[in-house]
Chain A
């Protein structure tokens, strides 16, 4: 049993538990917290895969993001309507069947097509390399994304601005 295996199984359990928490929670704030747990677990998985920068970014961006989700979850819902997310039993069963089937299918395919387990031979990339790559190989998508972010910022501001009467 290697340390990586221990860590992976531990984190996988945590991530799965939190994801299931998201599924089972009926309260929006709890759901958001479970989401945070999942995201944190995934961030640790990134650390496990030596993607340190990505892990940290995940924590920063998603901590902020989840925060907003929670805040709006609190503000936009009330116990009367929002909290008890009433799910129709039929819908629930249907969704469960479909998702479980999908999961089973995916897992089966993944396991069957799994190649031999190889240890990664890649070096651990540093932040500098990511930066260099972003500004050389991936410069175009990088710029596109930044333009998109600007558009999103303006769009969101436009959407929530009070109506002129």
Chain B
């Protein structure tokens, strides 16, 4: 318990993963789902780095995590582009009702 090992990180990653999963399944806002996906990806990254640190002893985990981060950025860009199109099609939100432009 007092010495930190691989399991600690894996459990934490599992928690993160489950939070992300929950967010992805329940939130109905597209941006919210994107946020859930980011959480899941982070859990994966954490695993990769932890394995790299505690098991393989090489850089492979870190580099894989690096790739995941880059891919997550790319994914966010595409997702946002899709949301913009989606919103353009279905923009039915009343403009002047109360607090405009608030999230």
Interfacial residues, chain A to chain B (CB-CB below 8 A): 1-2, 4-5, 8, 12, 15-16, 19-20, 22-23, 27-29, 31-32, 35, 38-39, 42, 45-46, 49-51, 53-54, 57-58, 61-62, 64-65, 68-69, 72-83, 85-87, 91-92, 95-96, 98-100, 102-103, 106-107, 110-111, 114-115, 117-122, 125, 129-130, 133-134, 138, 141, 145, 148-149, 152-153, 155-156, 159-160
Chain B interface residues toward A at CB < 8 A: 2-12, 14-23, 25-32, 34-36, 38-39, 42, 45-46, 49-50, 52-54, 57-59, 62-63, 65-67, 69-74, 76-78, 80-85, 87, 93-94, 97-103
Asked whether B63 lies within 8 Å of A138 as measured between CB atoms, the reply is: yes
The answer to whether B8 and A12 touch across the interface, beta carbons within 8 angstroms, is yes
Interface centre among B49, B67, B71, B103 (most CB of A within 10 A): B103
The 5 closest A-B pairs by CB, nearest first: A117-B5, A159-B81, A19-B19, A122-B57, A114-B7
- Contact between B57 and A120, CB atoms less than 8 A apart: yes
